[in-house]
Structure 1
Amino acid sequence: MEKRVKSALRYSVLDGAAYYAMYGFGEYYFAAYALLLNATDFQLGILATFPILIASIMQLFSINLMHKFKSRKKSVLALVFLQGLMILPIILIYHIESYRLTLLTLLVTLYSIFGWLSNPIWVSWIGDLVPEKIRGKFFSNRQLVASSTMFVSFIIAGFILTYAKDNFVNEYAGFAVIFIIAVIARLISVYFLSKQYEPKLKIKKQDNFSFKQFLKEFKKRYKLGYFNVIIAYLSFMYFGLYITSPYIIAYLFKDLHFSYLQYVLFTATSLLFELAFLPIWGSFIDKYGPLKILKLTGYLLPIVPVLLAFSKSLPILILTQVVGGFLWAGFTVSSINFMLETTTKEKRVAAFAYYNFISGVFIFIGSLIGAYIIKLALELNLSSISSIFWSKYIIILLLGALMRLIAALIFLPKLKDIKVREEISSKDLLIKVVSSFPHRYFHRPINLHTKK
């Protein structure tokens, strides 16, 4: 491996750590900040998904933006710098008397636009940097470092908010502190990105394809079982996820009466097990390919919201997060690896931009449906029909699980492996992954041949 490539990959890991620190101190707490501003369920749903919708639409222009800058590196640096700066006015919204939630949504939308615009360009850049034979290992290790940073950042931020709530009028001072730290973290990320080498990208005329062309050829390419199938699957998967996802925080704080520390413990458990299993999943991806891992985790993920719906005590909820962290680690790293495998480097920017646009639309629709169902559950007084629906959020947890399952049953069988891989059944793969955990973290073999 070239020295400059090795150096770039090292800086990429550091960039990921700084970016996820911004996420842990900042973006992870946008919804909690909205609750401080007295957001309704509908406003929480809009805050979680409207920025994604607009940002995904804007991503369609990322290719033109990259050509205008004539460099993937310059494009990414400019965009992520602006993303970090958008957090500063978010801090000041608290002092405005009217339209605070509207302003928060608009600023988070700008924050998301800059971040999402950079994403397909960065994916193209990093995809060219990472040698194919170590992709699984590199991305899982990078994500391990990044998630570890986010885990620590998220916990520290939770303690800061708790301290602010206990020692001041409310927790606003805590939000101001953690959001400022988030800005600093993003600027550090910009520095590490600036130190990375950028391979030259030559795009031929035939490699350029418009969104119209993409849609026109979608059905034909869908039959191949590669990138277009995973676009369809992930779009419907995230549709089901976002029927539920924006309202989890309201469920925890309003109906389960979580404190900030309980929320930190609940969320941090998922992060902890996600980062613990990332290197394990990565090693299995390099051996068996991403598709087997994607199918295994995709079929099992619908279990998570069902477990959450029937759990009230914190210990049981924590166990639910253990399962969630384990599955999401494999799902995330396998899906990105499968998408990289099934796209050429010349078409990767456009392909990821179109995927993000389509999935963004599905995410937004999912959140609106979730908000409508919550409202309907209140009007129908479902709790009087059955004690199962003791909370208005139970119905969306179950519906979200059902949609994830339907997406998995329809699309996962249609996905095809682009390479010949070593065969293994889903059952054996699951056993191997789970059994690798204690061996990796607790078993230390004794070396009987140590030289004296």
Structure 2
Amino acid sequence: MLKDILLPRRRMSMQRRGLHTAVVEGIPATIIGNLLGGPLLTAYLLYLGAKSDAIGAALAIPAFANLVQLVIAFYMHRFENRRLYVLMFSLVHRILWVATGLIPFWVPESYWVAAYIGMFTVSFICAQSAGVLWTSLVADMVPAQVRGRYFGIRNTIHWAVASLCLLIGGQILNRMPEGSGFVVLYVICAAATVWNGIELFRYPNLPLERSIETSKWKMLKKPLGDRTYLFATLFLATFILIQNIAVPLFSYVMLDIVKLNYTWVTVITTIQMIVMMFSYYYWGNLNSKFATRTLLRWALPIIAFACLLWSGMELLPTILVLVIVHCVLGIGIGGYNLLAFNFIIGDTPKSERPMYIAVFSALTGITGFIGPLLGGWIYKRLEDSPYWVQSYGISMFTGALLLVMALAIGPTVLKGEK
């Protein structure tokens, strides 16, 4: 499998070239996502003057933008040239995101945060528009029998790149004046955007299998009428809502409450990515032996434990606890990301897959949007509370609730395969 992915393009069949392109195209996308996202996004927002509520709002935007996938799914028949539209939407997304680096030069200081949130919103609406088309295209491109292993290897490669980028990004910010450091990061991402556009053009333009339904309402009723799929999706959406109260704000807590410097935050997050990188490979191999929903039942309690482990700060050194937290989180999130993706492309009928993907993305997007907003609001309201509440209390209580959900409800709604 790894040999097939890494062979030079000229020696490949069309299908293998497509699999190779999906790996290579993801590398510049990963560079951009990790130099401008994650803890470095939080760092840039703090540089622009954002508070916890604004940071929570910004972190919620990618999930909220998932709602646009419903619109794309309704009109999927108009996007027969999926490669073209993936290219267009993806480039607009990345160009706009990179353009947020110009805000300190072009926008009055009092509007910096508002301008960022506005540009970030439009950028991720385009990203999610591309997402449903890309997922549909790649699902058709990757043979079902190797899907788990392929995405496990692909994600392992990308998270290796992500880990390296995050370490380099943190060092750039630490060793240079803050403003100059962000300029360097944005210049690197501008170059990566050009590379990504070239790779996106190399995707095969596979024919689109149309839905057998002609009515938009009947198209929507397919996933909504699939009780097994819908209950699992509603459960995962609720889990994400509660999870996102705490997990997306881990970087904010480390930077603004625990007062770690950029180096420690990026090192800790990089450790998480390295663990996630290896976990993708093993989750992918497990997925060839066990049902996707069974593995999801195993992954969700791990995420809950990661949140609970913040309470260890009461007894152990903070850095040690945060490293352990992010190692456990890497295993759990790695499993969830891979398995949720395989759930929506593997447990769904091919002709109706875009609508299934869109419904999953819309429901998890709504709750994923509410979670960071609620988390940012809670941190804002509790900014005068005892240190333990702000530093680990919110994460600990969130983890306890997630664990109850994962162990009490998860086995019922995630049992069996379709």
TM-score (norm 1): 0.83
Query: Considering only CA atoms, is the larger Rg found in Structure 1 or Structure 2?
Result: 1
Q: Secondary structure at the match of 2:209?
A: coil
Note the 1:327-366 alignment, pairs <5 A.
327-366=332-371
In 2, are the aligned partners of 1:307 and 1:320 still within 8 Å (CA)? Answer: yes
Q: Which amino acid is the alignment partner of residue 190 of structure 2?
A: V
Q: 1:236–1:403: 8 Å Cα contact kept in structure 2?
A: no
Match in the other structure for 1:19:
29
Q: 1:338 to 1:58 in 2, by over 3 A?
A: closer
Conserved in 1, the CA contact under 8 Å of 2:310 and 2:396?
no
Over the residues paired in the alignment, what is the CA RMSD in angstroms?
Answer: 2.2
Q: Is 2:133 the counterpart of 1:121?
A: yes
Question: C-alpha deviations, 1:210-269, integer Å up to 9, x for none?
Answer: 4x8636973x422xx2x2123112211210121113432221112221111101111001
Q: Percent identity?
A: 21
Counterpart mapping for 1:28-43 below 5 A:
28=38, 29-43=40-54
Task: Work out which of the residue numbers 6, 31, 45 in structure 1 matches 2:56.
Answer: 45
Tell me if structure 1 keeps the 8 A contact 2:246–2:395.
yes
Q: Assess if the C-alpha contact under 8 Å between 1:87 and 1:183 holds in 2.
A: no
Tell me, in whole angstroms, the C-alpha distance in 1 between the residues paired with 2:298 and 2:310: 20
CA change 1:154–1:70 in 2 (3 A) is same
Distance in structure 1 (CA, Å) of the matches to 2:221 and 2:401 = 24
Tell me, in whole angstroms, the C-alpha distance in 2 between the residues paired with 1:215 and 1:361: 19
Residue of structure 1 aligned with 2:201, choices 194, 217, 223? 194
Gaps of 5+ in 1: 166-170, 384-388, 420-452
Quick check: 1:47–1:105 contact (8 Å CA) kept in 2? Answer: yes
Quick check: 1:402 aligned with 2:400? yes
2:89 aligns with 79
Q: Structure 1 residues 150, 290: CA separation in 2 closer, same or farther (over 3 Å shift)?
A: same
Instruction: Give the counterpart letter for 1:156 in structure 2.
Output: I
What letter matches 1:43 in structure 2?
A
Query: What does the per-residue CA deviation read over 1:171-223, in whole Å, with 9 as the maximum and x for residues that have no partner?
Result: 1111121122123223322222211213211314417644x8636973x422x
| TM-aligned CA deviation for residue 313 of structure 1 | 1.8
8 A Cα contact 2:132 2:358, kept in partner: yes
Cα separation, 1, equivalents of 2:351 and 2:187: 38
The match for 1:266 among 254, 265, 268 is 268
Letter in 2 for 1:234: L
Partner of 1:415: 414
Q: Secondary structure at the match of 2:120?
A: helix
**Structure 1 position 10 matched with structure 2 position 20:** yes
Are the equivalent residues in 1 in contact too, given 2:291–2:417 (CA < 8 A)? no
Aligned equivalents of 2:212, 2:283: Cα separation in 1: 38
Structure 2 stretches of 5 or more lacking a match? 5-11
- Matched with 1:221 is 226
User: Post-superposition shift, 1:129?
Assistant: 0.6
Count of equivalent residues: 401
Where does residue 242 of structure 2 map in the other structure?
Answer: 240
Tell me which residue corresponds to 1:172.
Answer: 179
Is the 1:25–1:153 contact (alpha carbons within 8 Å) kept by the matching residues of 2?
yes
One-letter amino acid of the structure 1 residue matched with residue 48 of structure 2: L
1:65-76 to structure 2, matched below 5 A, reads 66-76=76-86
Runs of 4+ in 1 over 4 A off after TM superposition: none
